[in-house]
Amino acid sequence: MVYIPKWRNYVEEVVFVAIALQMCVADRHAHKQKKKSTQQEHPPSSQPLPPLPCIHPSAMNYHHGLTLIIREEGSPSNQVYDAAHLYLPTIQLINPSTRTIGVTKTPRRETVKLAIESGEQVPDTFDGIDLNWLYVVEKCPDGCDERRFELTFQKEHKDKVMTFYLAYVVRRAEVIKQESKILNLRNVNSYDQVEFEHPATFETIAMEPGLKRKIIKDLERFVSRREFYKKVGKAWKRGYLLYGPPGTGKSSLIAAIANYLKFDVFELELDAIDSDSELKRALLSTTNRSILVIEDIDCSVNKDKENRFTLSGLLNFMDGLWSSCGDERIIVFTTNHKDRLDPALLRPGRMDVHIYMGYCTPSGFKVLASNYLGIPDLDGHGLYGEIVGLLESTKVTPAEICEELLKTNDEDDDEDADAALERLVDFFKLKKLEGDKPEIEEAKKQKMDVDVNNVNIFKRETEEERREEMDVKVNDDIENK
């Protein structure tokens, strides 16, 4: 939020100039004292006194001006404040009067990150308007730091600055953020943050090509329809449900989506949420252009009676009034058991797109063979036909295949690639046997049941025959008597 002080008037001008003059007098007095002590040790000099300290240009240029106070906010954050942090360092770089500028670089970051230092003033111009930024960090009584920007300009330009300049700063910050985007992975519960550097892309994940194209098309349509969502009165968000067995690439797909869209990732652990109000606070701490990940949703909602977090609280955020507190957000749920989810979670508007992440297919295996073994075209390989047959009859996850492929010593060596494929064939055969065991055991059990039934039937038939023979014999004896 931007605040405008109510008491900026000519009194401010007088006070400011008085303080500046007082500083000048103090400096001149200090200089005289220094000169007097110097004259006692050395002969007088004919050199003139140094000039009086200059009043800062802002005191001259903006003494009839207006100052906007742009404070750092909590949740939700102040968009203008965040934008100024990105925009102003770029102005500092091209300003010859810049005195200091902060520079940081983490080990995994390829480029340096610029930051404005406390007390630094940054002049700027916009459409013929001279503006001056000042970054202030002050200690509060509770020990916390209060951070703010002070933007000063001539009063007659207030409407243009408020309407156009601040919007320009926000737009420029978005461009800067996208050009030097460093993705972040944040835990919503603990507010911990690290740089997100997952290597997964749509080119590297093992997935059917048609499904990849479908997901990419849906993502592109979502991010390009800001005005459409606004027009129809819907919150600009999209819900995805990723379901399937463990190890089928659900986390890798989330990383690929984040890298494709350049969205930050927020991870929410529902087990750590104690109430609906805590859930709301956690969700409101997320930012625009982000992905909220809730894993194993079937194990988290209404897990036990002691957990005060409810399904209705989550649903209210997904499509209630809380859902409008942010733009351009993607919510991804994962589960190993879709059938265990409450039907209320599955309807469109909450989980708009359902994506089944299944066992590895021949198309997915081609991607893995290219990534790990450097085999661009697997169709002509002698083992490919056998591999296809085994994949179609065996339940094996991409994670299991990747683990086997990691055993290859050198992906550029044809002999090692062939050896890796041969090991995979043996691995698939072993998996097939393990998968067939339950069926074999079931067949044996059914056969034993049939045999037992046949024996019982034979016993019953034998007993009936014996009884019939005894009845006949008894009847014959009676007739003979």
Mind listing the pLDDT tens digit for each residue in 350-372?
889 999 999 999 999 999 999 98
Instruction: Write down the pLDDT at residue 70.
Output: 93
Query: Which of the four pLDDT bands, split at 50, 70 and 90, describes residue 439?
Result: low
Residue 198 or residue 251, greater confidence: 251
Contact 253, 355 (CB under 8 A): yes
Question: Cα–Cα distance between 84 and 176 in angstroms, integer?
Answer: 11
The beta-strand segments (E) located in 166-278 are 184-187, 193-195, 237-243, 264-267
Is residue 303 predicted with pLDDT exceeding 90? no
394-435 pLDDT, tens digit each: 999 999 999 988 877 554 455 578 888 999 999 999 988 887
Q: What percent of the chain has pLDDT over 70?
A: 68
Is residue 7 predicted with pLDDT exceeding 60? no
Query: Which of the four pLDDT bands, split at 50, 70 and 90, describes residue 76?
Result: low
Query: Which of the four pLDDT bands, split at 50, 70 and 90, describes residue 282?
Result: confident
145-202 pLDDT, tens digit each: 889 999 999 999 999 999 999 999 999 988 887 776 667 787 776 666 677 788 899 9
440-449 pLDDT, tens digit each: 455 556 555 5
Residues 99, 112, 143, 74: is their CA dihedral positive or negative? positive
Q: Report in angstroms the alpha-carbon separations of 79 from 1, 183, 192, 282, 320.
A: 8, 18, 21, 18, 23
Question: Cα–Cα distance between 427 and 432 in angstroms, integer?
Answer: 9
Average pLDDT of the segment spanning 318-340: 80
State the DSSP code for 156.
G
Comparing 84-98, 183-197, 307-321, the range with the smallest average pLDDT is: 307-321
Contact 357, 242 (CB under 8 A): yes
Domain ranges of the chain: 2-41+49-182, 194-356, 362-433
Residue 302 or residue 275, greater confidence: 275
Query: Which of the four pLDDT bands, split at 50, 70 and 90, describes residue 279?
Result: confident
Is residue 377 predicted with pLDDT exceeding 90? no
Comparing 3-17, 134-148, 291-305, the range with the smallest average pLDDT is: 3-17
Q: What percent of the chain has pLDDT over 90?
A: 32
Residue 279: burial class (beta carbons within 10 Å; 0-12, 13-18, 19+)? buried
Question: Cα–Cα distance between 314 and 317 in angstroms, integer?
Answer: 5
What's the mean pLDDT when you consider all of the chain?
77
Average pLDDT of the segment spanning 460-471: 66
Average pLDDT of the segment spanning 280-297: 85
Angle at 239 between CA 287 and CA 278, to 5 degrees: 50
Instruction: Write down the pLDDT at residue 174.
Output: 85
- Other CB atoms within a 10 A radius of the CB of residue 283 amount to 24
| CATH code of domain 194-356 | 3.40.50.300
Question: Cα–Cα distance between 454 and 460 in angstroms, integer?
Answer: 10
